Amino acid sequence: MAHTVLFGGTFDPIHLGHVITARCAAEILGANRVLFIPAQVSPHKPEAPPTADGRHRLAMVKLAAEEDPLFAACDIEVHRPPPSYTIDTVETLRQQQPGEEFTLLLGADQLLRLDAWRRGAELLASVGVAVLPRPGYIISPWPPPNFPDDVWQKIRRGVLDTPALGLSSRLIRQRIKCGQSIHYLTPLPVEAYIIRHRLYR
């Protein structure tokens, strides 16, 4: 059975922290593919819409994905009216690719917010979950409040030992705004795209 890792996010822009994390997660999980899914607007950040519009962020994700045969870009959420709910995306992918095994990458900072996700229980029942480390977030050895024990055990088995890189899209946007270089922070084709389209200035 093919195994696909689902990596959602704003990707505003995608950077080397994203691609390094994705490659490490795929290797740890034994996945055949990592699907990068840029959100149109995250339901968890409605007050902070993306700086670059969806077509630019999708184009940059596609350029980054071309750098690795394990990677692919998914345009489902960019072409769907916002907000971008993960359960809707998973249901669409399961219809398009029946029999595929899916594992959702989830940042440790999102763990305590799962009860606010749309149809969160259904989501956790329909996909595997792998948790990524985030600077400043410690994954405790006991369930957070309101977490069913079986769900917590499933998540605990999927805590990944990937590099916790202190690189963020916000940092890249700030550096561009200040006229500073982003060389070595994003894949080279993404850097070239940002310069060509004068993004984040």
* CATH at residue 87: 3.40.50.620
Domain assignment of residue 34, given as a range: 3-165
Asked, for residue 173, whether it belongs to a domain, the answer is: no
Longest Cα separation, the chain: 50
Residue scoring higher pLDDT (87 or 166): 87
Give the 3-state secondary structure of residue 118: coil
Asked, for residue 76, whether it belongs to a domain, the answer is: yes
pLDDT tens per residue across span 61-91? 999 999 999 999 999 999 998 888 999 999 9
Average pLDDT of span 166-195: 96
Percentage of the chain beyond pLDDT 90 is 61
Q: List, in sequence order, the alpha helices (H) in the chain.
A: 16-29, 54-65, 86-96, 120-126, 149-156, 169-177, 188-197
Asked, for residue 8, whether it belongs to a domain, the answer is: yes
Average pLDDT of span 16-30: 94
Average pLDDT of span 143-168: 74
Domain total of the chain: 1
pLDDT at residue 48 above 60? yes
Asked, for residue 195, whether it belongs to a domain, the answer is: no
Q: What is the pTM of this model?
A: 0.91
Asked, for residue 192, whether it belongs to a domain, the answer is: no
- Count Cβ atoms within 10 A of the Cβ of residue 87 and give its class: 0-12 exposed, 13-18 middle, 19 or more buried: middle
Q: Which residue in 68, 46, 66 sits closest to 58, CA to CA?
A: 66
Label residue 141 by pLDDT band (50, 70, 90): low
Mean pLDDT of the chain: 88
Say what the alpha-carbon torsion angle 68, 190, 86, 110 is, to the nearest 10 degrees.
100
Asked, for residue 95, whether it belongs to a domain, the answer is: yes
Cα 37 off chain centre by: 7
Q: What per-residue confidence (pLDDT) applies to 192?
A: 98
Residue scoring higher pLDDT (153 or 81): 81
Give one DSSP letter per residue of 6-43, joined into a string: EEEE--TT--HHHHHHHHHHHHHHT-SEEEEEE-SS-T
Q: What per-residue confidence (pLDDT) applies to 153?
A: 72
Asked, for residue 147, whether it belongs to a domain, the answer is: yes
Residue scoring higher pLDDT (162 or 95): 95
List the single range of 13-27, 80-94, 123-137, 144-158 with lowest mean pLDDT.
144-158
Q: What per-residue confidence (pLDDT) applies to 146?
A: 63
